[in-house]
Amino acid sequence: MASIAEYYAGKNVLITGATGFMGKVLVEKLLRSCPEVKALYLLVRPKAGQSMQQRVSDMMTCKLFDRVREDNPDFHQKIIPISSELMQPGLAISPEDVEKLTGCIDVVFHCAATIRFDEPLKHALQLNVIATQQLVSLAKQMHHLEAFIHISTAYANCNRKHIDEVIYPPPVEPKKLIESLEWMDDGIVRDITPRLIGDRPNTYTYTKALAEFVVQQEQDKLNIAIIRPSIVGASWQEPFPGWIDNFNGPSGVFIAAGKGILRTMRANNDAVADLIPVDMVINLTLAAGWYTAVHRPKSAVVYNCTTGGINPFHWGEIEHHVMSSFKRNPLEQAFRRPNANITSNYLINQYWILVSHKFPALIYDLFLRLSGQKPQMMRIFNRLHKAISLLEYFSSQDWEWNSENMNMLMSQLTPEDRKTFNFDVRQLNWPEYIENYCIVYLLKRLRNIRYTFNTLLVVFIWRVFIARSQMARNIWYFVVSLCFKFLSYFRASSTITN
Ligand SMILES: CCCCCCCCCCCCCCCC(=O)SCCNC(=O)CCNC(=O)[C@H](O)C(C)(C)COP(=O)(O)OP(=O)(O)OC[C@H]1O[C@@H](n2cnc3c(N)ncnc32)[C@H](O)[C@@H]1OP(=O)(O)O
Ligand SMILES: NC(=O)C1=CN([C@@H]2O[C@H](COP(=O)(O)OP(=O)(O)OC[C@H]3O[C@@H](n4cnc5c(N)ncnc54)[C@H](OP(=O)(O)O)[C@@H]3O)[C@@H](O)[C@H]2O)C=CC1
């Protein structure tokens, strides 16, 4: 049987959400560990004044792709951006692109979603459910499609305590919900949202559950796998330890605690913190793509991609390791010395919010006002309180996920693939992982300080040298005039070509 890299050799892969946190890691890993992959078609939208091409070019220059760049400086030739806005009918893909994609795609990875916990229901439904439905329709037209991999979340069924690797009946028939919300204005939808989502905490988990059902409906026509990661954190090993590019989930909490801003949060010390590193999730996703295409299971296979049942770590331990890491390696410009505590007691938490958050913020803002500056600390705390209030549901209780399919998949890999696409969460050393998670921010800062220091040093030595030596002065003027001539030449040639 073909190894994972052999399977992807010569394949055309379609990826949605490639500009996001997990999508980037997926693109990087495919290019690095499956170097014979034919092409990656990325569905990308223009955003914040940047064209789709510009966004993809910027993404490929980021540090995450350093190792790929080293192995293959021309890797960008394998990336084919396709303009697509998933909120639009037909995903706003041009007819020419639809023809191109239906004719050549072998594997689809659907990562795009809105992961905001406060997303209005209509918007979350449009992106997480309707866009998924449209992508599935497009996939059904693909002549050579071998696998459709949908990224869901382990919390899609967080209204249950024990979660098996099955697709549970949806809380409502998605088609009916879409039809009924169509005619309602945003105000009415906002009012009825709590009743609709019922015992789920937000529109995110609710719409991700509906999306799983939508994908499952096509299991007779497509080879489907559904990946359900729990809380996706910084990378464990690849392409280097501690890579993260956002403040979602625990990352924002860790930084707020490291900066000494966050002092208290509601979480259960003894509850399992089901964190999983992004590189492990992506390794499992690629392995699932391979398995689905090669074995073509009769029905959709669900992979609960979690750590708690196999290598549990608890919020209390996380608190301990995060705080000790920041105490040993303090962040720059911290508001106060880091000292955050978690408690499951509502009243104790409220007390500390008053004493350790609101009171110091008030004093600091008073100081800013008196010194003629704009007060800002209370605003920061209000936003932080909003963010953590949305996360507390996940840190105050625990769930049990069955992960038999994850174990089954691991047993199917060759020993070589088990190393290259490692998702064996038993190998995770939590204290070491947390240390890397926290320290990466510090390293970035230190690197900036080191660059600034080195630049200043060079300028200083040069100034001293120039002031003392006629020869150094001559070399300096020669180099400057050469640069000037070069610039003039380029300006002139670009004017001619325009
Ligand atoms: C030592 C202690 C150990 C204990 C530690 C316990 C950790 C317990 C984690 C559980 C984690 C469960 C995760 C479920 C697992 C999925 O299913 S994963 C999907 C995860 N999705 C998310 O995490 C998205 C959550 N975020 C959101 O929904 C939105 O960002 C929010 C929170 C509603 C805020 O929205 P917004 O007000 O429009 O503004 P936004 O620009 O997004 O952020 C505003 C500010 O909040 C801050 N912020 C955003 N997110 C966070 C955050 N997670 N934390 C802190 N600040 C944040 C931002 O930095 C920003 O600050 P400024 O830069 O303006 O100063
Ligand atoms: N992060 C986590 O902890 C977890 C994530 N997941 C799941 O993993 C997947 C990826 O999550 P993650 O990478 O963290 O999310 P990000 O928010 O980092 O990325 C979301 C991606 O979706 C794209 N997207 C959003 N809206 C649109 C749109 N209208 N049209 C086109 N593209 C759009 C974004 O593109 P753009 O850059 O243009 O905005 C981005 O590429 C999601 O399905 C999520 O549910 C599951 C469990 C945990």
| Residue 120: closest CA among 203, 177, 210, 184 | 203
244-253, 344-353, 441-450: least confident range: 441-450
The proportion of the chain whose per-residue pLDDT surpasses 90, expressed as a percent, equals: 84
pLDDT band at 473 (very low <50, low <70, confident <90, very high): confident
Ligand 2: residue whose CA is nearest its atom 18: 20
Residue 484, pLDDT score: 65
- Cα–Cα distance between 480 and 462 in angstroms, integer? 14
pLDDT band at 497 (very low <50, low <70, confident <90, very high): very low
Ligand 1: residue whose CA is nearest its atom 27: 116
229-238, 333-342, 487-496: least confident range: 487-496
Q: Is 56 in the pocket of ligand 2 (CB under 6 A)?
A: no
- Ligand showing the shortest atom-to-Cα distance for residue 155: 1
- Cα–Cα distance between 116 and 172 in angstroms, integer? 21
- HSE (CB half, 13 Å, CA atoms) of 452? 6
Q: Is 124 in the pocket of ligand 1 (CB under 6 A)?
A: no
Residue 292, pLDDT score: 98
Query: What would you report as the CA-atom Rg of the chain, rounded to the nearest whole angstrom?
Result: 26
Q: Is 303 in the pocket of ligand 1 (CB under 6 A)?
A: no
pTM: 0.89
How many beta carbons lie within 10 A of that of residue 362, not counting itself? 14
pLDDT band at 89 (very low <50, low <70, confident <90, very high): very high
pLDDT band at 467 (very low <50, low <70, confident <90, very high): low
Structure tokens belonging to residue 484: 């000037």
Q: How far is the CA of 498 from the centre of ligand 1 (A)?
A: 47
Contact 161, 399 (CB under 8 A): yes
Q: How far is the CA of 247 from the centre of ligand 1 (A)?
A: 6
In angstroms, the Cα distances linking 395 to 59, 253, 269, 280, 429 are 32, 11, 9, 22, 21
Average pLDDT score over residue span 275-294: 98
- Cα–Cα distance between 30 and 67 in angstroms, integer? 12
31-69 pLDDT, tens digit per residue, is 999 999 999 999 999 999 999 999 999 999 999 999 999
Please, which contacts does 417-421 make with residues 24 or more away whose CB atoms are closer than 8 Å?
417/3, 417/4, 417/5, 417/287, 420/4, 420/5, 420/33, 420/283, 421/4, 421/33, 421/283, 421/284, 421/286, 421/287
Tell which atom from ligand 2 comes closest to the C-alpha of 128: 43
pLDDT at 219 over 80: yes
Ligand 2: residue whose CA is nearest its atom 11: 22
**Lookup result for tokens 């945003």:** 186
Backbone angles phi, psi at 81, to 5 degrees: -75, 140
pLDDT at 294 over 90: yes
- Cα–Cα distance between 477 and 487 in angstroms, integer? 15
pLDDT at 465 over 70: no
- Cα–Cα distance between 123 and 88 in angstroms, integer? 12
pLDDT band at 339 (very low <50, low <70, confident <90, very high): very high
Contact 364, 357 (CB under 8 A): no
Residue 449, pLDDT score: 47
Tell which atom from ligand 2 comes closest to the C-alpha of 204: 45
| Residue 424: closest CA among 243, 240, 281 | 281
Q: Using CA atoms in the order 18, 22, 26, 27, what is the torsion angle rounded to 10 degrees?
A: 30
Q: Is 118 in the pocket of ligand 1 (CB under 6 A)?
A: yes
Residue 285, pLDDT score: 98
369-424 pLDDT, tens digit per residue, is 999 999 999 999 999 999 999 999 999 999 999 999 999 999 999 999 999 999 99
- Contacts of residue 457, Cβ cutoff 8 Å, sequence gap at least 6: none
Q: How far is the CA of 149 from the centre of ligand 2 (A)?
A: 14
- Contacts of residue 98, Cβ cutoff 8 Å, sequence gap at least 6: 90, 138, 141
Q: Is 249 in the pocket of ligand 2 (CB under 6 A)?
A: yes
- Cα–Cα distance between 181 and 195 in angstroms, integer? 14
Pick the more confident residue, 88 or 456.
Answer: 88
pLDDT at 129 over 60: yes
The proportion of the chain whose per-residue pLDDT surpasses 70, expressed as a percent, equals: 90
Q: Is 393 in the pocket of ligand 1 (CB under 6 A)?
A: no
- Contacts of residue 17, Cβ cutoff 8 Å, sequence gap at least 6: 23, 110, 111, 112, 113, 151
Residue 330, pLDDT score: 87
pLDDT at 343 over 70: yes
Tell which atom from ligand 2 comes closest to the C-alpha of 246: 18
Q: How far is the CA of 384 from the centre of ligand 1 (A)?
A: 8
Q: Where are the domains of the chain?
A: 4-230+274-310+403-421, 447-497
- Pocket test of ligand 1: the residue of 376, 391, 438, 441 to mutate, having most ligand atoms within 8 Å of its CB, is 391
> Which of 3.40.50.720, 3.30.465.10, 3.40.449.10, 3.40.640.10 would CATH assign to domain 4-230+274-310+403-421?
3.40.50.720
Q: How far is the CA of 387 from the centre of ligand 1 (A)?
A: 5
pLDDT band at 466 (very low <50, low <70, confident <90, very high): low
pLDDT band at 462 (very low <50, low <70, confident <90, very high): low
Residue 491, pLDDT score: 57
State the complex-level ipTM. 0.91
pLDDT band at 496 (very low <50, low <70, confident <90, very high): very low
| Residue 75: closest CA among 44, 25, 30, 136 | 30
pLDDT at 115 over 90: yes
Residue 297, pLDDT score: 95
pLDDT band at 498 (very low <50, low <70, confident <90, very high): very low
Residue type for 441, please?
Y
Residue 272, pLDDT score: 97
Average pLDDT score over residue span 304-309: 97
- Cα–Cα distance between 142 and 290 in angstroms, integer? 18
Instruction: Please measure the distance between the N-terminal and C-terminal CA atoms of the chain and give it in whole angstroms.
Output: 55
